A and B are shown apart, each in its own frame.
Chain A
Amino acid sequence: MDTQIFTEISLSEILVELLLMPVIAFLVGLVMVLWMRKIGARVQRRIGPPLFQPLYDVVKLFGKKTQVSHGVVHDIGIVMAMGGYIAAETLLPVPGMNGIAVYGGIITLTYLMMIPSLGLALGVGQCANPNGSIGISRALTAMLAYDIPFVIIVFGVAFHHETTNLVEIITQQQQAGIASWGAVQNPLLALAGLATLQGMLGKQPFEIYIAPAEIATGPMVEMSGKYLGGLFVMQAFQLYTAAVLYVSLFLGGGESWFELLAKSFVVVSIPMMIAFVFPRYRTEDLVRLFWKWPVMIGLLGVAFVG
């Protein structure tokens, strides 16, 4: 089975995928940013931003006249943060472009998705601002919190499908219909996954480690112009990656792009609607919360994986 897939891919296909995927992910990610902002606004009874606001933000940030760099590592950190997600989304199988995905797999993807955190941490580190460093200490602590339930979920899904190959996981779900979707087969894992997703995206109520509302006392303190712009783009990539990964694991992926995107938007909406109801969590409370509930639900979920 595996070897058959391996021979099908050609170099031109790889190149197309490597260049096309970031563009698609960028556009979809921007719409997702807008979507989430809209939902947040509606929950708070505001109108929310106009259609092109995320794009304006990117253009504004990259177009700033002063771009303050704190050194080479600062620059490289931003590149690593964006690049890690670009790589991760290339390794996600999507309709028509499964070629590279078979070489990665779900464990590789899990670890690739830690690279942006490391990149951001390095970049912020060189800024030599203790406020930034404190923010990173929180961000990495949060990673320790949400990645433990996340790997339990990864284990459960891979064990259920008896493979780490995402293409295979999606094919199995698509062939047998909705009844075989991860969300139906392992609802507990899917539930824990939703919570984990929210922590991973750093969205309310877990956004304290990004501190978007108090930028001077978080990791972004020394980020200006295209540095902040780069992280904004990273956020778009991150939203796309996380949503598509969730759809691939639990909702049978997409047989067409429309299906995939529809499901992805549903995935990012659910936690967003719940999130604004909760107060904000301190980092250590976040750790306590994640090590308790998603871990417990996830472990229970794996216990039911037959």
Chain B
Amino acid sequence: MSEFLFELNMLDSLLLLSAVTVAIAILCRVEYISGGVVTLLYLAQLVVVGMMISAGGVFSSHLTPQLFGYELGWLLDGLGLYFTLITVGSALLATLYMAGEWGRRYREQGKSFRALQSLLALNVFTMQLLLASSDLLSLFISWELASWAAFALMALSGGKGLKAALHYMIYAFSGAMLVFAVVAWIATTAVTAAYQLDINGAGILQFSSVAELMQQGIFTIPEQLLMLTLLLIGFGIKMGLLPFHLWQAPAYALSIGPAGAFLGAISSRLGLFAIIVVLFKIFGSITDGSILQSSFGFEFASVTPKTLLAWIAVATIIFPTFVAMRQNDARHLLAWHGIGQGGYMLLGLVMMDSLGSAGGLLHVFNHATYQAALFLAVTSVIYRTGTADLNRLGGLVVRMPLSFMTLLIGIIGLAGLPPMNGFVSKWLVYRSLLDQGELLLFVGAVIGTLGTILSVYKLIHNMFLGSLRKEHEEVREVSWSMLTPMLILSALILLTGLFPGIPLQWVAQGLSAVGLPVAEFNLGGVMADGGSLDMVIVSMVLFSGFGVAALIFYFVGGKSKRVNPLDNYAGGHFLYASNRYHYSNNFYAGLMHLIKPWYKNTFQRLERVVVTLLELTAESLSRLYMRPHSNQLALIIVVLLLW
């Protein structure tokens, strides 16, 4: 035993630490201590992940149990490490946020802080297991575990949140069934194939062996395409890819504040991780579609899995963004944008060139930073005012300036404007689309960005700008325990925008782990033929522009005088504090006048059709066994089955 412990490598210690975190979160009954302890444990995990990243290479765990004769294994390469880093980082900041005053009030409300803490830790642990899985069976098992953990964390909020969580569970379950079907299919066929190919039968489900099976043509191309489709749907559900996105926004938005920040930052990206594994580790050979032409015998070049996925990605960018624009609850608005941003990641990755894939993968990190910042800022507003309703807020910038700043930096990142990090990853995706001459995809991606700008301005305007409501006169900024993670995230958004080379080096490790090309980059950005990007210079120019503008504004002309908002122009009327002098409802009335007829709720209807069909099937089946002589019927079925 001691020998075993002595031999623990870094992945073993990471998983062990993570398990210990779960155990302590569950066992520690003294809740005001557990917040701090668990935060420290996440910090320790982050240190281990950091050490692994700087060491580089592949780490395999000693944990190799056998199941049904298959060997399960855990192995962390550059790709898994990149996602693990983001997972642990988000968990650390979310826990830091709730360790202090936020958690105290949560406990005072009679809710179980311990449950929240331990479910979050459980999520992190199961996600780490998933990210380190090296074969289809361990992938499936940890996928299920992670899904259940996410469900429990969502369901914790109760009420509508529980309903949304159940909605998620139905989707997740259907997805998992598809994945399981493929795993079972491969497993049953593979055993016989293993002898032919001289592969160790127990390790036949490892990604590399499965890829080998595919390349050797054990499965025909149509079979492989079917498998690929089923897996993409199964994992795409988690990612919120159209048309399987309906569950996501309510489920994340209604989760408990910091948990929502964690889930919104990284949880659905596990779907992207699994898709990357499937696309590039297992089915790498058919993704670019060259085989399709030869096997079907007719010209299929224009519809490859690549173009199809790219179009799904663009649809995932556009539709949820414009749904987000119509939301009247800050959390729902952000959660809908979370779905849309996932589209950029997939779009970049399926471009499969050095710029696009770097952009897609970099966007995972960038998105996690600003989404967590935004969710935490909104949670802070809810903490002080009790609402995230965009029609019941306004003018909070004078009361909560630092939360405003976090939200501002976050929305600039989300909208993808320089100098924040969101711009860099989107720039890479745009450049890749440009290089490959994909005009319509490019325009689609930009439409998403423009829609995002409109939507996030509404968010910040309705919450923080405009006139302050009378009932919010006494509101104060949140405490430092909550501000610290928000400010750390803001700094990250800005710094990784100025120096994208830092996250790009993690991205490069991830890309090379799945065999995708890696762009040449430096601290400030990317060097590429046909136009480079150097964020250090761009930011310098931008801040110097602000500097010159500030010189003009502050040093030329008279000194400005602060006035009370009640002194505003109101067409000759007097304004009183009880007047609501704020424009928030139906903010883009003009635009909606034009595009409202385009919102057709197609996906809700589609979902309802599927539900109705399922209900009908279930009903007719239940008629079958509810009949008076159902026992005879059952006997016949059993006999038939046995026969």
A-side interface residues toward B, CB under 8 Å?
A: 2-3, 14, 18-19, 22, 61-73, 75, 78-88, 90-91, 100, 102-108, 111-112, 114-115, 117-118, 121-122, 125-131, 133-134, 136-138, 140-141, 143-144, 147-148, 151-152, 155-156, 158-159, 162-165, 168, 216, 221-222, 225-227, 229-230, 233, 282-284, 287-288, 299, 302
Contact A164 B457 (CB under 8 A): no
Cβ of B637 under 8 Å from chain A: no
Question: Shortest CB–CB separation between residue B331 and chain A, in angstroms?
Answer: 21
Which residues of chain B come closer than 8 Å to A137, judged between CB atoms? 583, 587-591
Residue of B nearest to A110 (CB): B446
Q: Are A233 and B552 in contact (CB under 8 A)?
A: yes
Q: Is the CB of B453 within 8 A of A86?
A: no
The contact of A140 among B454, B533, B553, by CB within 8 Å, is: B454
Are the CB atoms of B558 and A100 closer together than 8 Å?
Answer: no
Which residues from chain B contact A86 at a C-beta distance below 8 Å? 544-546, 548-549
A128 touches B397 (CB 8 A): no
Q: Are B431 and A103 touching (Cβ within 8 A)?
A: no
5 examples of A-B residue contacts, CB within 8 angstroms:
A62-B556, A71-B562, A90-B544, A115-B417, A129-B568
Asked if residues A105 and B531 are in contact (CB atoms below 8 Å), the reply is yes
CB < 8 Å: which of A108, A127, A151 contacts B418? A108
Give the distance in Å from the alpha carbon of A221 to the alpha carbon of B565 in the complex.
13
B433: nearest chain-A partner, CB-CB = A155
B529 CB, min distance to chain A CBs, angstroms: 7
Give residues of chain B (542-589) contacting chain A, Cβ–Cβ below 8 Å: 542, 544-550, 552-554, 556-563, 565, 568-571, 581-583, 587-589
Q: Which of B563, B569, B570 contacts A69 (CB 8 A)?
A: B563
**A226–B560 CB distance below 8 A:** yes
The answer, yes or no, to whether B173 is at the interface (CB within 8 Å) is no
**A-B pairs with lowest CB-CB distance, top 6:** A125-B465, A164-B531, A87-B545, A62-B557, A86-B545, A83-B546
Q: Does the CB pair A226–B556 fall under 8 Å? A: yes
B461 → A minimal CB distance (Å): 5
Given contacts A133-B461, A222-B569, contact A68 B563 (CB under 8 A): yes
- 5 further A-B pairs in the complex, CB-CB below 8 A; given A2-B527, A104-B537, A159-B434: A79-B550, A82-B549, A137-B587, A143-B450, A148-B443
Q: What 0/1 readout, one digit per residue, does chain B (408-434) give for beta carbons within 8 Å of chain A?
A: 100010011110000100010011001
A4 and B454 alpha carbons, distance in the complex (Å): 40
Q: How far is the CB of B279 from chain A (nearest CB, A)?
A: 26
Q: Which of A151, A152, A168, A283 has the most CB of B within 10 A?
A: A151
> Are B465 and A67 in contact (CB-based, < 8 A)?
no
What is the distance, in angstroms, from B450's C-beta to the closest C-beta of chain A?
A: 5
Is the Cβ of B465 less than 8 Å from the Cβ of A73? yes
In the bound complex, do residue B527 and residue A282 qualify as a contact, i.e. CB atoms below 8 Å apart?
no
A125 close to B417 (CB less than 8 A):
no
How many angstroms between the C-alpha atoms of A86 and B551 in the bound complex? 12
A71: B residues at CB distance < 8 A: 397-398, 562
B303 at the interface (CB under 8 A from A): no
Return chain B residues, CB-CB under 8 Å to A79.
Answer: 546, 549-550, 553
**Beta-carbon nearest neighbor of B586 in chain A:** A137
A106 to B447, CA, bound (A): 17
Nearest-CB distance from B617 to chain A (Å)?
43
**Using Cβ atoms and an 8 Å threshold, which residues of chain B touch A63?**
557-558
Contact residues in B for A141 (Cβ distance below 8 Å):
454, 588, 590-591
Chain A, Cβ-Cβ closest to B529: A2
A90–B543 CA distance with the chains assembled, in angstroms: 12
Nearest chain B CB to A159's CB is how many angstroms away? 6
- Give Cα A63–Cα B542 distance, bound, in whole angstroms: 27
For residue B530, CB closer than 8 A to chain A, the reply is yes
Measured in the bound complex, the distance between the Cα atoms of B342 and A118 in whole Å is: 24
A-facing residues in B445-472 (Cβ within 8 Å) = 446-447, 450-451, 453-454, 457, 460-461, 464-468
Give residues of chain B (485-529) contacting chain A, Cβ–Cβ below 8 Å.
Answer: 527, 529
Query: CA of A302 to CA of B558 in the docked complex: distance in angstroms?
Result: 50
Q: Say whether, besides A125-B460, A216-B569, A225 and B557 are in contact (CB < 8 Å).
A: yes
Residues on the A chain within 8 Å of B548, using CB: 18-19, 22, 82-83, 86
Q: Which residues on B sit within 8 Å (CB–CB) of A75?
A: 553-554, 560
Asked whether B541 lies within 8 Å of A104 as measured between CB atoms, the reply is yes
A138 near B465 with CB under 8 A, answer: no
CA distance A119 to B467 in the complex (A): 18
CB distance from B576 to the nearest CB of A (A): 14
Evaluate contact between B454 and A151: CB separation under 8 angstroms: no
Q: Which residue from A112, A159, A225 sits with its C-beta under 8 Å from B437?
A: A159
Q: How far is the CA of A114 from the CA of B570 in the complex (A)?
A: 30
- Is B531's CB under 8 angstroms from A126's CB? no
Contact B552 A82 (CB under 8 A): yes
Asked whether B594 lies within 8 Å of A83 as measured between CB atoms, the reply is no
Taking the closest CB of chain A, its distance from the CB of B516, in whole angstroms, is 22
Say if the beta carbon of B532 comes within 8 Å of chain A.
yes
Residue among B404, B460, B545, B563 with max Cβ neighbours from chain A (10 Å):
B545
Complex Cα–Cα for A303 and B530 (A): 21
B63 at interface, CB cutoff 8 A? no
Contact in complex: A144, B443 (CB < 8 Å): no
Bound together, the chains give a CA A125 to CA B446 distance in angstroms of: 25
With known contacts A121-B457, A126-B465, A165–B541 Cβ distance under 8 A? no
Tell yes or no: B33 within 8 A of A by CB. no
Shortest CB distance A140–B (Å): 5
The contact of A118 among B457, B532, B571, by CB within 8 Å, is B457
In the complex formed, the residue of B with least CB distance to A81 is B549
Bound complex: CA A140 to CA B541 (Å): 25
**Is B450 within 8 A of A144, CB to CB?**
yes
Does chain A have a CB within 8 A of B395?
Answer: yes
Can you name the residue of chain A whose Cβ is closest to the Cβ of B445? A151
Bound Cα distance from A106 to B466, whole angstroms: 34
Nearest Cβ distance between residue A174 and chain B, in whole angstroms? 18
CB-based contact A133/B397 at 8 Å: no
**Known A148-B450, A216-B571; contact A282-B590, beta-carbon cutoff 8 A:** yes
**Which residue of B is nearest A169, CB measured?**
B531
Q: How far is the CA of A71 from the CA of B395 in the complex (A)?
A: 11
B59 at interface, CB cutoff 8 A: no
**Contact among A107, A117, A121 with B430 in the assembled complex (CB-CB below 8 Å):** A107
How long is the Cα–Cα vector from A118 to B329 in the complex, in angstroms?
21
From residue 185 to 203 of chain B, which have CB atoms closer than 8 A to chain A? none
Q: How far is the CB of A26 from chain B (nearest CB, A)?
A: 9
- Given A128-B581, A133-B461: A151 and B443 interface contact (C-beta under 8 Å): yes
User: A115-B418, A230-B552 given as contacts; is B561 within 8 A of A67 (CB)?
Assistant: yes
Q: Could you tell me the distance in whole angstroms from the C-beta of B593 to the nearest C-beta in chain A?
A: 5
Determine if A144 and B454 form an interchain contact, defined as CB atoms under 8 angstroms apart. Answer: yes
Q: Which residue of B lies closest to A117 (CB)?
A: B453
Residues of chain A with a CB closer than 8 A to B554's CB: 75
CB distance from A218 to the nearest CB of B (A): 11
CA gap between A229 and B534 in the complex, in Å: 33
- Candidates B415, B442, B550, B563; contact of A70 at CB < 8 Å: B563
The complex places the Cα of A125 from the Cα of B418 at a distance, in Å, of 21
B561-A66 in contact (CB<8A): yes
- Residue in contact with B427 in the complex, picked from A108, A121, A127, A226, CB distance below 8 Å: A108
Q: Is B439 an interface residue (CB 8 A)?
A: yes
Q: Is the CB of A85 within 8 A of B545?
A: yes
Distance between Cα atoms of A87 and B535 in the complex (Å):
13
Q: Is the CB of B568 within 8 A of A83?
A: no
A182 to B124, CA, bound (A): 54
Please tell me if the beta carbons of A130 and B461 are within 8 angstroms of each other in the complex: no
Given contacts A19-B548, A112-B418, contact A221 B569 (CB under 8 A): yes
Contacts of A152 in B (CB 8 A): 439, 443
A108 CA / B550 CA spacing, docked (Å): 22
Bound CA span A130–B589, Å: 13
B437: min CB distance to chain A, Å: 6
The residues of A that contact B531 with a CB separation of less than 8 Å are 105-107, 158, 163-165, 168
Bound complex: CA A70 to CA B446 (Å) = 33
Bound-complex Cα distance A14 to B583 (A): 44
Say whether B530 contacts A165, CB under 8 Å.
yes
